[in-house]
């Protein structure tokens, strides 16, 4: 009778069979094992190491298959912080070189279980691609988050160290589950206050939690900290008083946090102070800090994101600034380089600095938070973007010199390799604002662990852990995710267009953007160069000659309008409106079709998602559905704004088989969004 009632209920409320979820569990929706199951299998290791105990506990709680034996073997240095898993139907053996390797192995096993992979015959060896897999939080001490779209900062500085939010540990666990082992806790536009003794104590409370998950804390530091905080005359890196202040500060930190990771520095960039304020070089500044950290095995990540409002192409400036300094940096300095030469656009060619520094450590900085990709409103799966950079062949050390191989130690052995990304995490219940934003956090972790994973595989892992293991759900969602970044490129800035966003906040289109007396290199016209002749930034030898920073044969390919891939065409060339593209269409027509394709593709995403109603809990279904509606409206906004604006130069009709604009250019120009630090 009870069965009949339940069946009846299922019939009446087909959608309620999937329980509501708020996304707070991320991809960690493990199911606790029953007592029976737990009784029939053992998780064995003898250790008092907190990380090992945690690894064991996770398996005790959630592993529902055969018995597992864990072991640390200090001889297996080649494993780094990776692991080996072998086993059959009855027993699994896990070996790691470090305790945290066992924790990673535990999460690996739980992932296999959660994604319904076979575990009866295992022979796995995993060694991470990069030593330091680090998230950069652009969180301010007032809990606003620069370029954050998931609510206020997780870090409740006012409450620390007294009150410990349970989310600190949840956050650490999520990171550990995908191999992230380092965190820069504060904004690169850093407040000196973070180095005050009061904040160091607060930081310790976070470090203590993170440590159990194998995560080290790092700080962004303000180069003027000695003067502002310590009262030194200046912050000149060659001033002994300044050197001493940093030395003492580092010592103070390490006394409290013995495994502190090091500093991230944005210096002489966008108004931040730096060594150039005193006539010193980036190397002078970085080395001074590196020396202070050296004894503690601390690391300096020194950002190459520098540009000045000069007549020189912004895209060239980081290269020009850093290449002359090659060889001058200490070995515990890593130059942290944004994936592209401008600033986290939906698409950029790889940054020519990769491989250009022969004798300096280099690392990639990605942006997970979608500053230039529709904030937390647009679904854009970024693994393909990350992979595009990592797999780019720079030819720096000959063919095959991909960005990944240049930075992971393969081609350029380094004391420590690293990869960074700017986090998209805030205190929203679902962490990232958009449920699919979680996938980008996940994807960065997975690629930092193994950059050879395919975007598809990572998507499949994430979907099946986050939503459903049913292929009828996984397949369409994976397809939707795989196309999503290209979709955003299409409706925002196809064919190599870049930086035509609304001023400052970067939400929505503003190709007409201009600010009286504003920096040219912050203005869209600086980047698109639309005129009656055509569109795009001439970076060939006839123009800014940015292509000279690339090596042959890349230089020849990018520099030749006939060879240059469509996706970078307007990045490197000022192309006539009537120029015949590879498709046979004129450039103007091609541009129109790209924008329109973007709109149609978002609508197709809506259809994919709506078809899945009932296959995912209703709360997350509706929340994603709602975001897709915004994205769909925004795509039309972008298309209309860009085509109607560029049409004032091209003077050509939008091809008539394309859906017509529904907005007036003049109306769109009036849109002024009041967006500050976060939404």
In the complex, minimum distance from the CB of residue 376 to a copy of itself, in angstroms, rounded to a whole number: 16
Contact in structure between 377 and 627 (CB atoms under 8 Å): yes
Q: Could you tell me how many residues make up the chain?
A: 679
Contact in structure between 379 and 419 (CB atoms under 8 Å): no
The only residue of 660, 670, 674, 676 in contact with a copy of itself, by rule CB under 8 A: 660
Q: Which stretch binds a copy of itself (CB under 8 A): 26-34, 231-239, 245-253, 648-656?
A: 648-656
Taking the CA atoms of 427, 429, 433 and 437 in sequence, report the sign of the dihedral they define: positive
Gap between the Cα atoms of 676 and 8, Å rounded: 51
* 33 DSSP 8-state letter: P
Contact in structure between 264 and 218 (CB atoms under 8 Å): yes
- Three-state DSSP string of 423-483: CCCCCCCCCCCCCCHHHHHHHHHHHHHCCCCCHHHHHHHHHHHHCCCCHHHHHHHHHHHHH
Residue 654 binds a copy of itself, judged by CB under 8 A: yes
> Which position has the token pair 């962490």?
431
Residue 657 binds a copy of itself, judged by CB under 8 A: yes
- CA nearest to 390, candidates 342, 360, 334, 351: 351
Residue 583 binds a copy of itself, judged by CB under 8 A: no
Residue 653 binds a copy of itself, judged by CB under 8 A: yes
Residue 49 binds a copy of itself, judged by CB under 8 A: no
Residue 472 binds a copy of itself, judged by CB under 8 A: no
Q: Nearer Cβ to a copy of itself, position 11 or 656?
A: 656
Q: Nearer Cβ to a copy of itself, position 36 or 657?
A: 657
In the complex, minimum distance from the CB of residue 306 to a copy of itself, in angstroms, rounded to a whole number: 41
Residue 664 binds a copy of itself, judged by CB under 8 A: yes
In the complex, minimum distance from the CB of residue 450 to a copy of itself, in angstroms, rounded to a whole number: 36
**Sheet of 91-96, strands arranged across:** 43-44, 67-72, 91-96, 83-87, 122-126
Active site residue 371: yes
The only residue of 115, 632, 649, 669 in contact with a copy of itself, by rule CB under 8 A: 632
The only residue of 29, 659, 672, 673 in contact with a copy of itself, by rule CB under 8 A: 659
Residue 669 binds a copy of itself, judged by CB under 8 A: no
Question: What's the token pair of residue 512?
Answer: 């007409």
Gap between the Cα atoms of 87 and 68, Å rounded: 9
Residue 663 binds a copy of itself, judged by CB under 8 A: yes
Q: Between 596 and 625, how does the x/- string for binding to a copy of itself read (CB under 8 A)?
A: -------x--xx--xx-x------------
Gap between the Cα atoms of 186 and 40, Å rounded: 46
What DSSP string describes 359-424? SSEEEEEEE-S-TTTTGGGS----HHHHHHHHT-B--BTBTT-BHHHHHSSSSS--SS-EEEEE--
Q: Nearer Cβ to a copy of itself, position 47 or 632?
A: 632
Active site residue 388: no
In the complex, minimum distance from the CB of residue 514 to a copy of itself, in angstroms, rounded to a whole number: 25
Gap between the Cα atoms of 466 and 439, Å rounded: 9
Residue 156 binds a copy of itself, judged by CB under 8 A: no
Gap between the Cα atoms of 541 and 37, Å rounded: 69
Contact in structure between 450 and 126 (CB atoms under 8 Å): yes
Residue 679 binds a copy of itself, judged by CB under 8 A: no
In the complex, minimum distance from the CB of residue 576 to a copy of itself, in angstroms, rounded to a whole number: 17
Active-site entry in 371, 393, 590, 640: 371
In the complex, minimum distance from the CB of residue 663 to a copy of itself, in angstroms, rounded to a whole number: 7
Residue 670 binds a copy of itself, judged by CB under 8 A: no
Residue 9 binds a copy of itself, judged by CB under 8 A: no
Contact in structure between 474 and 612 (CB atoms under 8 Å): no
In the complex, minimum distance from the CB of residue 595 to a copy of itself, in angstroms, rounded to a whole number: 15
Tell me the number of residues near a copy of itself by CB under 8 A.
21
Active-site entry in 236, 343, 348, 589: 343
Q: Nearer Cβ to a copy of itself, position 41 or 620?
A: 620
Residues 179-238 close enough to bind a copy of itself by CB under 8 A: none
Helix (H) or strand (E) holding 136: strand 132-136
- CA nearest to 104, candidates 133, 75, 136: 133
User: β-strand 418-422 against 132-136: which pairing, if any?
Assistant: parallel
Q: Nearer Cβ to a copy of itself, position 93 or 652?
A: 652
In the complex, minimum distance from the CB of residue 662 to a copy of itself, in angstroms, rounded to a whole number: 5
Contact in structure between 87 and 93 (CB atoms under 8 Å): yes
Q: Nearer Cβ to a copy of itself, position 324 or 653?
A: 653
Q: Which stretch binds a copy of itself (CB under 8 A): 22-30, 32-40, 71-79, 660-668?
A: 660-668
The only residue of 40, 197, 626, 648 in contact with a copy of itself, by rule CB under 8 A: 626
Active site residue 270: yes
In the complex, minimum distance from the CB of residue 623 to a copy of itself, in angstroms, rounded to a whole number: 11
Note the residues at the interface with a copy of itself (CB under 8 A): 603, 606-607, 610-611, 613, 626, 628-629, 632-633, 653-654, 656-657, 659-664
Q: Hey, which residues are catalytic here?
A: 270, 343, 371
């Amino acid at each position: 009778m009870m069965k009949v009632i339940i069946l009846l209920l299922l019939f009446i409320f087909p959608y309620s069979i999937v329980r509501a979820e708020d996304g707070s569990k991320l991809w960690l929706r493990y199911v606790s094992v029953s007592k029976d199951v737990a009784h029939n299998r053992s998780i064995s290791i003898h250790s008092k190491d907190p990380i090992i105990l945690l690894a064991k506990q996770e398996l005790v709680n959630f592993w529902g298959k055969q018995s597992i034996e864990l072991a640390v073997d200090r001889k297996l240095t080649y494993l780094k912080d990776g692991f080996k898993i072998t086993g059959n139907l009855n027993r699994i053996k896990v070996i790691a070189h470090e305790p945290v390797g066992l924790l990673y192995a535990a999460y690996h096993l739980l992932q296999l279980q959660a994604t319904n992979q076979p575990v009866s015959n295992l022979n796995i060896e995993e060694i991470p691609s990069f030593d330091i897999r680090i998230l950069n939080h652009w969180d301010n001490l007032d809990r606003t988050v620069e370029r954050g779209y998931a609510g206020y900062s997780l870090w409740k500085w006012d409450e620390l160290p007294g009150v410990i939010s349970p989310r600190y540990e949840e956050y650490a666990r999520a990171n550990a589950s995908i191999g992230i082992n380092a965190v820069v806790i504060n904004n690169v536009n850093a407040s000196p206050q973070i180095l005050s003794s009061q904040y160091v104590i607060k930081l310790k409370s976070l470090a203590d939690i993170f440590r159990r998950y194998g995560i080290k804390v790092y700080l962004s530091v303000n180069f003027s900290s000695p003067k502002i905080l310590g009262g030194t005359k200046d912050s000149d890196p060659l001033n002994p008083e300044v050197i001493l202040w940093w030395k003492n500060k580092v010592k103070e930190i390490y006394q409290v946090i013995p495994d502190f990771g090091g500093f991230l520095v944005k210096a002489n960039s966008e108004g931040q102070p730096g060594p150039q304020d005193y006539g010193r070089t980036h190397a002078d500044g970085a080395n001074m800090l590196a020396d202070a950290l050296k004894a503690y095995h601390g690391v300096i990540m020194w950002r190459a994101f520098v540009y000045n409002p000069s007549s020189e192409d912004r895209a060239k400036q980081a290269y020009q600034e850093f290449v002359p300094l090659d060889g001058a940096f200490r070995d515990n300095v890593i130059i942290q380089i944004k994936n592209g030469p401008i600033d986290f656009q939906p698409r950029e060619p790889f940054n020519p600095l990769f491989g250009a520094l022969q004798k300096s450590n280099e690392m990639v900085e990605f942006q997970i938070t979608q500053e230039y990709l529709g904030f937390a409103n647009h679904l854009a799966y970024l693994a393909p973007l990350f992979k595009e950079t990592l797999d780019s062949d720079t030819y720096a050390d000959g063919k095959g010199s991909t960005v990944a191989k240049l930075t992971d130690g393969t081609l350029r052995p380094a004391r420590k390799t690293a990869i960074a990304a700017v986090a998209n995490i805030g205190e929203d219940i679902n962490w990232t604002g958009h449920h699919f934003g979680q996938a980008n956090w996940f994807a960065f972790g997975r690629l930092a662990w193994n950059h050879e994973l395919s975007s598809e595989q990572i998507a499949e892992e994430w979907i099946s852990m986050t939503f459903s293991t049913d292929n009828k759900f996984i397949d369409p969602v994976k397809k939707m995710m795989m196309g999503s970044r290209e979709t955003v490129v299409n409706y925002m800035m196809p064919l190599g267009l870049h930086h035509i966003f609304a001023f400052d906040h970067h939400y929505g289109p503003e190709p007409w953007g201009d600010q009286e007396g504003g920096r040219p290199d912050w203005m869209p016209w600086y980047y698109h160069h639309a005129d009656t002749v055509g569109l795009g930034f001439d970076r060939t030898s006839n123009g800014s000659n940015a292509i000279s920073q690339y090596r042959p044969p890349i230089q020849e390919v990018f520099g030749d309008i006939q060879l240059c891939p469509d996706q970078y065409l307007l990045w490197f060339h000022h192309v006539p409106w009537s120029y015949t593209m590879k498709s046979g269409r004129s450039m103007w027509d091609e541009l129109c079709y790209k924008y329109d394709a973007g709109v149609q593709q978002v609508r197709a995403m809506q259809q994919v998602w709506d078809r899945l109603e009932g296959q995912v809990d209703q709360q997350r279904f509706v929340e994603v559905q709602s975001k897709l509606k915004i994205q769909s409206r925004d795509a039309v906004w972008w298309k209309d704004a860009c085509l109607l604006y560029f049409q004032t130069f091209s003077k050509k009709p939008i091809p008539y088989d394309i859906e017509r604009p529904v907005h007036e250019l003049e109306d769109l120009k009036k849109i002024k969004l009041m967006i500050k630090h976060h939404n």
